[in-house]
Structure 1
Amino acid sequence: MALRVDLTFDTMDAESLAEFWKLALGYEDEPPPAPFTTRAEWAASFGEPDDDEGGGAWLHDPAGVGPRLCFLDVPERKVAKNRLHIDVRVGKGDGAWERIVAKSEQLVKAGGRVLTTVDGHHIVMADPEGNEFCVAA
């Protein structure tokens, strides 16, 4: 039996970074686990939080295909290149390069940055906290 995979991001601002990735991937906020009605209620079930614990955000693919994304606040900033990155796939075929460019432009407006463009193939970007990813067909 294959296992499911979650991808977890250490962040400085989980909620803001989750908003960026919702736009990038078309994901939605994941509801809290039953029987909880809010994430705050779920978090409170673990007892009193430490003063240094940050926030979190959880996203899921509404189609149920892609991995769940978890964003957890940590005290330190990102300092090196990712060892793993996400490829945002916009679909192959006619107009693929135009879709790649359009998606990267949308993500720049949302706070992303273009790092490298490989014309006709893919665009390497960084999200608002510097996590690298590619937009490709």
Structure 2
Amino acid sequence: MVIDCAEPKRMVAFWCEALGYLPEPPPDGHTSWRNYWTALGVPEEELPAGAGEVPESIVDPAGQGPRVWFQRVPEPKVVKNRLHLDLKVSGGRAVPLPVRVQRVNAKAARLTSAGATVLRTLGGPDLDHYAIVLLDPEGNEFCVA
């Protein structure tokens, strides 16, 4: 999975917190991704300034989830996402609604401390559903449910 962004380092830190992932280390024997790419023969002058000096991708420590690469792009985000992630933290409908609300609120609080912004809350007294829509540090929408 690839996410376009302006600041890969910031996005790596945020999404590691959100997903419980780790920064992807460079392949064995290489001190950085930049070192790896140049060892493969990519000319140094073709690499953008700063590229590969800090991790730009994250991986699931359990090896089950997808690798996510944060690709630096020059243009800013200008429209709403057509795709977003749902972080399932509530335990599902088998869990009482008050417990689900508490779990969702706790995760959303951790993520706002890490740089997310709350956009809106989904749910209500007559619904058996509760979620919070947030924006990551670069304005990409995602849900905590």
TM-score by length of 2: 0.80
Residue matched to 1:3: none
Give the superposition deviation at 1:29.
Answer: 1.1
8 Å CA contact 1:78, 1:130 repeated in 2 = yes
* Structure 1 residue 47 corresponds to structure 2 residue 13: no
Larger radius of gyration: 2
* Structure 1 residue 71 corresponds to structure 2 residue 70: yes
* Structure 1 residue 62 corresponds to structure 2 residue 61: yes
Give the superposition deviation at 1:53.
Answer: 6.0
Alignment of 1:18-33 (within 5 A): 18-33=12-27
Identity in percent:
43
8 Å CA contact 2:115, 2:136 repeated in 1 = yes
Give the superposition deviation at 1:91.
Answer: 4.0
The amino acid of 1:10's aligned partner reads D
Structure 1 residue runs without a partner (length 5+): 1-6
8 Å CA contact 2:34, 2:51 repeated in 1 = no
Match of 1:116 among 103, 120, 126: 120
2: distance between equivalents of 1:55 and 1:135? 31
Residue matched to 2:126: none
* Structure 1 residue 129 corresponds to structure 2 residue 138: yes
Structure 2 SS opposite 1:96: helix
Q: Deviations over 1:46-77 (max 9, x none)?
A: 21244756636010000111111100111110
Q: Which structure dedicates a bigger proportion of its chain to strand?
A: 1
Give the superposition deviation at 1:98.
Answer: 0.8
8 Å CA contact 1:15, 1:55 repeated in 2 = no
